[in-house]
Amino acid sequence: EHENSLRTVSEDAETEVRNFKKSIIKYYLSKGYAGALFIETALLRGSGGGGGAGAAMTGLGDASKLLGRHGVLDAVPLPSAIEGDDGALDLVEALMTRFRLEFTNAESEWAQNRKHACVDVVKGGGLRHVIPPNFAYVHVEANASKGGLLHVVEDVEEWPQSFALEVYGGVCGHDPNRWHAHATAERRAAARGAPPTQALLATAANLRSSFSRFDWVEATKES
pLDDT of residue 186: 62
Residue 109 inside a domain? The answer is yes
Residue 72 inside a domain? The answer is yes
Residue 182 inside a domain? The answer is yes
Residue 99 inside a domain? The answer is yes
Amino acid at 172: C
Residue 1 inside a domain? The answer is no
β-bridge mates for residue 142, sequence order: 37
Residue 121 inside a domain? The answer is yes
pTM of the model: 0.77
Separation of alpha carbons 85 and 70, rounded Å: 40
Residue 131 inside a domain? The answer is yes
Whether residue 7 contacts residue 135, with contact meaning beta carbons closer than 8 Å, is answered with: yes
Separation of alpha carbons 133 and 63, rounded Å: 9
pLDDT of residue 99: 93
Separation of alpha carbons 131 and 124, rounded Å: 15
**Quick check: 217 pLDDT over 80?**
no
The answer for residues whose C-beta is within 8 angstroms of residue 31's C-beta and 6 or more apart is 77
pLDDT of residue 196: 66
The answer for residues whose C-beta is within 8 angstroms of residue 217's C-beta and 6 or more apart is none
Q: Of the candidates 126, 133, 3, 115, which has an alpha carbon nearest to the alpha carbon of residue 68?
A: 3
Mean pLDDT value across residues 31-51: 72
β-bridge mates for residue 74, sequence order: 39
The answer for residues whose C-beta is within 8 angstroms of residue 56's C-beta and 6 or more apart is 43, 44, 45, 46, 66, 134, 135, 136, 156
Ranking 65-74, 96-105, 181-190, 194-203 by mean pLDDT, the lowest is: 181-190
Residue 185: give the domain boundaries: 6-222
Residue 139 inside a domain? The answer is yes
- Answer positive or negative: Cα dihedral of 176, 130, 120, 61: positive
**Quick check: 158 pLDDT over 50?**
yes
- Overall domain count for the chain: 1
Share of the chain above pLDDT 70, in %: 66
